[in-house]
Structure 1
Amino acid sequence: MGISLFFFFLFMRLFAEINGGSQDDECKASRCSHHGPVIRFPFRLKHQPEHCGYPEFELSCSEEKRTILELPYSGKLWVKEINYASQEIFVHYPDDCLQRQILNFNLSASPFQFTGDTDDFSFFNCSENKTYELSSIPCNFLSSNPVYVTSSFRSLAKVNLSSCRKIFNPTLPYYHTYGGEYDTFMNWSKPMCGNCAPIDKVLVPTEVVLGFLHFTFGILIIFIIYRCNKLKREHRINVQKFLEDYRALRPSRYSYADIKKITNNFKDKLGQGGYGINYKGKLSNEIFVAVKILDDFKGNGEEFINEVRTMGTIHHVNVVRLLGFCADGYKQVLKCEFLPNESLDKFIFSAFGNNYSLGWHKLQDIAIGIAKGIEYLHQGCDQRILHLDIKPHNILLDHNFNPKISDFGLAKLCSKEQSAVFMTTAKGTMGYIAPEMFSRNFGNVSYKADVYSFGMLLIEMVGGRKNIDATVENTSQHTSQNGSIIIWIKTRDRPSMKIVVGMLEGEEGNLVMPPNPFTSMGQTRTSVRRRKTSIQPELTVISEIE
């Protein structure tokens, strides 16, 4: 940028100098008197530089403040008017002797010529009086004998010219033949100037113009080469930066020192989850990331393995991307894309205030996005992924409030042909865990556990409050409060997430209520009641092997 400005100002400086430099001062218009003609290009005064006008257009000011044009071999003319538009000057010739005028007035090499009607005249020097036959000239310049003039087109057959000698045969305006002082118009044409070229009404020698053009062309070539090289360097830098960013966007392994550098030594804390603390980091000026430091005392590394194994293969607009990880000794770190609007729970629960409320249309868009993300996990990958912890806190929002599913620490992988998964403990968050996670009396654990959790999330989005009171500590009280919801929802009655997406988008027509699970008021209800009263805090242990 600096070199470009340098060349630009250098070019403008040189152009200004060739364009007259201080032309406003040296070549400015002037007059010899207040009533005299304006003198400007192509005329110039004697004291002005030669580049201010054409050659032979030099004027001077007399002592009487008259504008004088001095022509070679023709004497001095008093310039009374200058018409630049028609290229004419109105001049006065002070000599009253026509013979001397004709002898001195030579316009053959001058850019100025007479205007108006002209004629060819013949001048004779006669020793005898010819007054009655020819017009006489009042002054004698060459000899004492009288001088006579006549038009060259006049017939002289009847004139006795034996005593006369022809001395001039000029072309003059007819009124010049009377002699005395006279005024006349003369016009000018562009003079021949073999070594000059006009530039914006300033005469500059051709060598200077060519030198300037060569110099300017050379500077232009240098600038073009410099600019091309600069663009090539910028392109290479852009490619390198893209490759660096591309590598940064793929799941890569980092050292703990790299993680500290990315997070600026863990300066910006985003929040804390059940398995670790989240920090904000930066890979470059354009890419921000979220860095999750996993708790050493929770999960025994299982969450770390689940996150890397599942998120590393997922690429969906509604699923958070895993960009990298760190496994340095006991330190386990996950690096994911950064979502500026944080989690969904901040916007749907009244406890966070009305300032974060979202409209119904936006809530519907968010619900559809979450459903599509879950449906992708179930059907869009090589293996089916069960998230098993769908809740508002694990739904992150980008700058446009597009939802992305995060936190795959409890996820399980299974083949798409597998109808049930083996589990030894009930995983998830109370209030969102499907009932079959506690007992297979409600059905086998399958991908429909995420369908149940998504339904609970929808209820919270619509109601604007949590489905479970977090202040209740007893697990049996949790179950009792939500029994009216979870008891009748059986696995076989739940639709797939593909059907759920169609429901939310209005493609499924009239919605059908699920069947009543209580087909009899006897054994089933007694069994359920017995099941409710026997639930203990140790419910997370499942004795049945499925």
Structure 2
Amino acid sequence: MSLHLTKVTIPKTSALLAVGYNMAFASSFVCFILSLLLILVHAKERNDSICSKSFSCGNLTDLSFPFSLSTQPDCGIVPISGCDAKPFPRIQLLPGGEWYYARGKEYSYTLLLVDLKLQTVLRQHKCQAFNENISISDSPSISFTAVKLQNFYKCNRTSSNSPYINQTMKDHFDGYESYDGCDGFTIYYKFYGVDDEDILAGNHTANCSLIRLPYYPTEPGDDNLVNFLHPEFLVEWKLSDDCSKCHYGGGRCQTDKKNNFLCYKGTSKRGYLQTIWFKVATGASLFTVGLLALLLFCFRKKKLWYKYLRFWESNAEDHQKVEEFLKNYGSYAPNRYNYTDIKRITGRFRSKLGQGGFGNVYRGSLSNGSEVAVKVLNELKGSGEDFINEVASISRTSHVNIVSLVGFCFEGHKRALVYEFMPNGSLEKFIYEERSNGVRQLGWPILYKIALGIARGLEYLHRGCNTRILHFDIKPHNILLDEDFCPKVSDFGLAKMCMKQESVVSMLGPRGTIGYIAPEIVCRNLGGVSHKSDVYSYGMMVLEMVGGRTNC
């Protein structure tokens, strides 16, 4: 699988095409401004001046519609209260429904909730936990889906039950585990495999009922089913199309007495304000047209237009490549974060680990407490091939000596890669004689361990994967060390994937770092380029490790 982007070229004789492209862009931009201002004109009765675009409540950050503080019910449809309460704020998914602890916001459309009733019962380790059932209803404005709940089948048993009835029940749940640790009923469950479709459809015995509860495995050998239960569960939410149109059209999402969707808009007279907004919209549009005409005049040189046209076209192709990648990998694709998630993970880029030509690396933390390193790429650097190569390459690997990719961000021009955190950083700061203060010199046993680990990582890339991966940039800067100085190969921006049977690969141009590049990459007369080029780079790096100085 090769992921090389096609270079977009524009003939030098197509200056009119560039001008026409930008005039079309100018027209679209003016239409956008007019539409936005007209939406503001027709917004009625919803006081947007008191509704923040985003807000925080306790441990929840970057919240926006449909969420709102309980003190501002007009700003949303999912109220949150107790921002200063311990341990977590409380949230009510639907009006008049249950209140839950909001433990955290996993992703943009996912919440981690705690069931208060179930938490109280589980603290006492009582079988009454099986009297609870997590069932979340929807409304015409928003729908919720509880994720990763376990199906339990609670079947009553009494002394009056005949042996025939009991045997019939056991036969009905053939292949299921059973738990008899509670008085009066038996629990049937299946943690592995697919549940019986007839049972899920409700075709079970009259004495049984389906219960859905959060389940987390505990210590091996624990036969107390109650210990498997947990009050935390994930909920995904999705705004309905009607509510989305209503909200962004200036209305408020509501329901009538028959639980049908209702978009409420006020009826107060605002003709005077509409006139003012119309004048503002007209003036802004004329100003925008004049500004773009001035820019056309000032940047009439063709090369500037070609540069920006190439950037936008290649950026669109990058997005198409990413979507194809996610579709092909399915559930095996890494997590995809939006830029808001990246800011939350890094604490708004508070702790910088390093800086390079590609961008900056920041230290971050996921909601489960795991530390990560986030590489934020420069917005206008390159065509995006390096980014897509790195995501696709590392997603195919799973090895102790290959850095793990936790997820990535591809949103507009913003691109970031989220890796596991390596406390000791890169190898290069340990092996050169001009080490900075506080960096210790590694002994020969550790250097041998590092060299051996890197070799195992390369052997895995070349022979252990279903698709052979050629790194093409092996050097100390791209070798990361964990707390035990276990090496991990990183930075797959120049990598190339090929079938295992291929001994020689084709390349459009040289790639790698001077001092580590194999001779055949620069001069094709010396032979074909293959996985042996990585072996050459590895050898040059080992020489640096032994000699304590750079080859460059």
Calculate the TM-score normalised by the size of structure 1: 0.42
Higher Rg: 1
Q: Which has the higher contact order (CA 8 A, sep 6+)?
A: 2
